A = this chain, B = another copy of it.
Amino acid sequence: MSVQQIYKGRIVDLRLEDVDLPGGRSVKLEVVHHPGAAAIVAVDDRNEVVVIRQLRHAAGGFIWEVPAGTLAPGEAPAACARRELREEAGLLAGQWTALGSILTTPGFCDERIHLFLARGLSESAQQLDDDEVLDVGRIPMRRALEMVQDGAIEDAKSIAALHRAAVALGLLR
């Protein structure tokens, strides 16, 4: 496989790769390499879930998401999830359940997001990155699932995470 580096930035690492297909043909594919990420469905004792309203330039404005962030170099997904819940939402969690992972855009990018359910929440101190603009709130899980269905929540990782968490919690059957 021949690989040509096009650009290596802070998040995006774009390469042009010659890929052999079954049957002997070969295609040149644009591949964005991404370090991966973790996303957290944090649910409190009243079945309310932590949501953030975040400014996303690529999305053209503020969107609803669950807390999430990119893996630091060498960082384990579970450690990233704990760090991001603390930094973005100012929360610690006593119980963590892994909910598998998802591929956001397998057609052109290798990003894998590891999903977690966090319970037993307690307050800590929020610590946002310089370029993060967001508000944190809590809404009932039932309301979050309605927002997935009516389109108010459009973020794919948040939809997948809320779905898996709701089934794990017995809220969707």
Interface residues of A (CB under 8 A from B): 6-7, 9-12, 14, 16-17, 19, 21-22, 25, 27, 29-32, 55-60, 63, 65, 70, 100-113, 130-131, 133, 148-151, 154-157, 159-160, 163-164, 167-168, 172-173
Contact = CB atoms under 8 A, between A and B. Distances in A.
A32 B12 CA distance: 9
Q: Copy number in this complex?
A: 2
A17 B133 CA distance: 17
A24 B155 CA distance: 27
17 contacts: A10-B30, A22-B133, A25-B130, A31-B57, A31-B58, A63-B103, A63-B106, A100-B154, A101-B154, A102-B154, A103-B155, A103-B156, A104-B156, A105-B111, A112-B154, A159-B159, A160-B163
Contacts of A57: 17, 19, 29, 31
Most buried by B among A31, A104, A130, A131: A104
